[in-house]
């Protein structure tokens, strides 16, 4: 995937994930964005080479929730 394609796709993924956070965690939009941006998941998601952007918003939410609950971030194998 080209850099331009990834840069076009990433906001769509982030938007879907933020909506999941708002729905599941009962947060405001600003809180949900900070919740995501202050995570290891976001750092990995922002790197096209990791291919984490392939995961569904549901899967990304579950990974984020696990990271926030346990303090550890692990990608599934």
pTM of the entire predicted model: 0.89
In this prediction, residue 77 carries a pLDDT of 74
Range of the domain at 62: 3-68
75 falls within a domain: no
Looking at the domain assignment, is residue 74 inside a domain? no
Contacts of 39 by beta carbon, 8 Å cutoff, 6+ apart: 64, 67, 68, 73
76 belongs to a structural domain: no
- Would residue 17 count as lying in a domain? yes
Residue 51 lies in a domain: yes
Segment 29-46, tens digit of pLDDT: 999 999 999 999 999 999
């Amino acid at each position: 995937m080209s850099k331009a394609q990834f840069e076009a796709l990433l906001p769509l993924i982030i938007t879907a994930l933020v909506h999941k956070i708002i729905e599941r965690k009962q947060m405001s939009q600003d809180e949900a964005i900070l919740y995501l941006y202050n995570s290891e998941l976001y750092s990995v998601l922002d790197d096209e080479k990791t291919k984490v952007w392939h995961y569904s918003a549901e899967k990304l939410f579950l990974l984020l929730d696990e990271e926030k609950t346990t303090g550890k971030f692990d990608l599934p194998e």
